[in-house]
Structure 1
């Protein structure tokens, strides 16, 4: 009987040790997590700078978030890029220069509206081409369905006596 009692005690110790290990690991991961929002909000010198900044970050895509602008994203890299955009603005860079800098660093993906180039023609005109091809296919299908019915109606008219 004593032997079974010791086994139960060892099992209870293992369960407690596992629970403490899980608790320690969960506390360790939350301690290293990034803050949910920017610790120090950006400050602007005037309303014109703030307006220009907000217009610019609305046109730039967060490189981590697939479909969010820099203005909308809460990712840490978005916070860093917003600070970098503001620093570039204060260095006297124009909006196209800032966009060129970010494109050189992160690629065309960072722009919500990519530039019109030979390699982006499909991106710009592809939807219109697909729409035209679909309309053409639909018109042909409707004509093909209508042709047998028109032929049958013509035959019925010929067979009918007046």
Structure 2
């Protein structure tokens, strides 16, 4: 009984995995299939996120490939297919999102950060060192008087810099 319970417990995660995508069926026309393959390379898998749907084994990637093939077979242009994918999944689905107001930071942010960093380095490098002013004769005399008096006591634990220790 314990073995059966352990087997069921351990097999639970294996049964919960996503089912394998059905095999792809290429389009009959080689030209249309080539167009579909080109689109597969520029579309991001929404599950894997770092792979194109051409390389992804995820079920959703198979569904996206099937959708693209259906749209191409019905005569949709490549741009219309990409627009439909963006409508369904957002700009993130394309590896190269369009340049628009909402994606300016994505497109120009790194260059802006590099420019700000370069300006900060330039300003920091151009800054002159602050020169310390020499003591006036009156300040020199007062300092000598202070050092002559015993108001400033040496640290008993301190040692002379060249006392041989």
CA offsets 1:43-98 (integer angstroms, 9 cap, x no match) = 23233222211110111111112221111211110011111111111011111111
Counterparts of 1:43 and 1:87 in 2: how far apart (Å)?
A: 10
The size of the alignment, in residue pairs, is 132
SS at match of 1:148: coil
SS at match of 2:129: helix
Q: Following superposition of structure 1 onto structure 2, how do residues 1-162 of structure 1 map, counting pairs within 5 Å?
A: 17-27=1-11, 29-31=13-15, 33-36=17-20, 38-144=21-127, 147-148=128-129
Structure 1 segments of 4+ aligned residues over 3 angstroms from their partners: 25-36
How far did residue 116 of structure 1 move? 1.4
Which of these two proteins has the greater Rg computed from alpha carbons? Answer: 2
RMSD (CA atoms): 2.2
Counterparts of 2:68 and 2:25 in 1: how far apart (Å)?
A: 11
TM-score, length-scaled by structure 2: 0.70
Specify which structure has the higher proportion of helix.
1
